[in-house]
Amino acid sequence: MIIAVASGKGGTGKTTVAVNLALALSTTESVQFVDCDVEAPNAHLFLDPQFNTADVVSKRLPDIDSATCTQCGACVEACEFNALALMGGRMLRYDSLCHGCGRCGLVCPAGAIGETSHQLGCVETGRSRGFPFARGVLHVGETMATPIIHALKKEIDASATAILDAPPGTACPMIATLHGADVALLVTEPTLFGLHDLNAAVDVARTLEVPIAVVINRAGIGDHQVAAYCQEQSIPILATIPYDRSIAQAYAIGTPLIDAVPSWKAHFLEMAARVKEVAA
């Protein structure tokens, strides 16, 4: 089973839920943790993994031979992502926009376009607390996270329950993480901002036809609109985590909740059982 822990916005407690869910489940079954927040992975701060492999993830960029190029503009017209431009008699390439699809090389009548490799980041794998841990790391300055997430998801072991810590928001990285998951566990907070962004995350999960469940974190700081929305949308709320200073203090020093307060282990095991019911 693949459980994607996601949220419509950052700072809702997504990593807190993912980490503690993995730790609780690891005491009863085979678990794998996958940190898909490749732009800012932080699960390692709580799980302290030991990495033993690091594989480079790259994309292909067009390599234009200026001596052969006739500047006909066919590649510019063919590019779906506006990564090429013809200006002042020069061909310009915008690396951050290129998706490495290779279409420009296929349409070039002069055969002037080859390919060159460009590193985006890496996928690191190892172990933490007795179970496999994998994360993606996007190089500073790079903007394309999805190729790393796709490479990272290839590390998923089908024989274990995989906990995916998704990137925040509802853009392409979050979509890439949720795609193919058995259930989306959406973490939110009981505020107007939380409700707005939960609604966006629900729309994405439903578009991908991924079953949905919700965890409300920092319960007590807002109102009941999130709970009312979930009831209206027939979305089960699997747990509420209170707005508690002791939980925040444990988080601040990198201590998982179930280590700081062992009684929470039973709550996360119950959450896991309910998640599986939603996925079924």
| Domains in the chain, CATH or no CATH each | 2-57+122-279 (3.40.50.300), 60-119 (3.30.70.20)
**Contact predicate 172/146, CB 8 Å:** yes
Location of structure tokens 């996925």: 279
Task: Provide the pLDDT for residue 280.
Answer: 81
Is 0.95 surpassed by the pTM of this model? Answer: no
Beta strands in the chain (DSSP E): 2-6, 31-35, 50-64, 84-87, 90-93, 113-128, 131-138, 161-165, 183-188, 212-219, 237-242
Query: Angle CA(40)–CA(133)–CA(154) in degrees, nearest 5?
Result: 85
Mean of the per-residue pLDDT values for the chain? Answer: 96
- Alpha-helical runs (H) found in 191-244: 192-207, 225-232
Residues 6+ away with beta carbon under 8 Å from 63: 113, 114, 115, 116
Q: Judge contact between 208 and 179, C-beta under 8 A.
A: yes
Q: Which one-letter DSSP state was computed for residue 215?
A: E
Render pLDDT for 162-192 as a digit per residue (tens, 0 to 9): 999 999 999 999 999 999 999 999 999 999 9
pLDDT tens sequence across 70-121: 999 999 999 999 999 999 889 999 999 999 999 999 999 999 999 999 999 9
- Please list the alpha-helical segments (H only) found in 57-191: 74-78, 103-107, 146-153, 172-178
Structure tokens at 196: 């707005």
Please check the confidence at residue 45 and state whether its pLDDT lies above 90.
yes
* Percent of the chain residues topping a pLDDT of 70: 100
